[in-house]
Structure 1
């Protein structure tokens, strides 16, 4: 009887441990990021004030909002690096680091992406673009209007070609076709919430 009880307790503990690991490593990242109470919605098509420091050369601007401590941000580094390599001559790529608790140098961030792109530590840009989680992609057209704000893919590792939302938006803008119609998986924020960047 005692052996059965111990076996039952051990199985329950094992099931709990597996469930906890699944929650920590997978399921919680499939839940939408809660919208902050003081969130100010920025509509698609809104003009974005980039300021004098953001030289654009009349090219579209692609802003990657990134937090080195956010697992979701780390998962899609290879995907963002691939976009920079593929479209780097057609868009102005910028990385905005949103992390108030640690210091990262520009060089460290550039090394993570294997790209010499401008890096900013500017949380005000997130507010201007309506971003409240990381990672998020923002595309601003040459007239400085918000063209796309959303996710890179519906999968954490950005491996599903059918839901490469950010890349689809890039292609539509560059080909000057009608902006694609995206579903909630593209436009609803998933990832680490700001300002603490926790999930």
Structure 2
């Protein structure tokens, strides 16, 4: 009798865990709702990035990050690999989008990244970003080359859909223009500024 109860209890527990995992996967695979006041920013738009220090006239890669967003946290290891692989040819910066108080030193120390960290939400608005994690790539002329997702999966496990990396490599190789997949450009993840995920009605 006891063995049967334990078996039933374990089965129910596994079902609950599986259901929770499935629900989280389903929720974070929905497009992020477009804010009512959203202003689209077209590729090729000159970006006002006076608040972001751009040295050596390099390409600028902006990582839009919310420490409370699960998708952002899952994505950080992959972002760090991009910094490691392209540092020296590309300037990287993190733009933290969160209502809580963090310092640049906290972010740099926690994720072991010695790159600039900014907290200005107008940078996101200027690039047309309304969710995290998102990447924006600004070319040497200060124009928006790419704004979109890192990968089709939130764990960045599908190398064929490393959209931001593909865009970065294309820009470094002067392969322009490049046609981006709709999956690369439709925002997924957590809406700003709080860690929420609402389905787009479109």
Q: TM-score, normalised by structure 1?
A: 0.88
Aligned length: 191
> Among residues 155, 164, 167, which one is paired with 1:166 in the alignment?
164
Deviating 4+ runs (over 6 angstroms):
13-16
Say whether 1:181 aligns with 2:179: yes
Q: Is the 8 A contact 2:62 2:94 kept in 1?
A: yes
Shift of 1:143: 0.5
Residue 111 (structure 1) aligns with: 109
- Which whole-Å CA distance do the structure 1 matches of 2:14 and 2:77 have between them? 33
Residue 193 (structure 2) aligns with: 195
- Which whole-Å CA distance do the structure 2 matches of 1:81 and 1:24 have between them? 28
Say whether 1:76 aligns with 2:75: yes
- Which whole-Å CA distance do the structure 1 matches of 2:168 and 2:105 have between them? 26
- Mapping for residues 48-197 of structure 1, pairs under 5 Å: 48-51=47-50, 53-100=52-99, 102-197=100-195
- Which whole-Å CA distance do the structure 1 matches of 2:156 and 2:94 have between them? 18
Q: Is the 8 A contact 2:151 2:162 kept in 1?
A: yes
Q: Is the 8 A contact 2:149 2:163 kept in 1?
A: yes
Gaps of 5+ in 2: 1-8, 198-202
SS for the counterpart of 2:136 is strand
- Which whole-Å CA distance do the structure 2 matches of 1:57 and 1:74 have between them? 30
* RMSD across aligned positions (CA): 2.2
Q: TM-score, normalised by structure 2?
A: 0.87
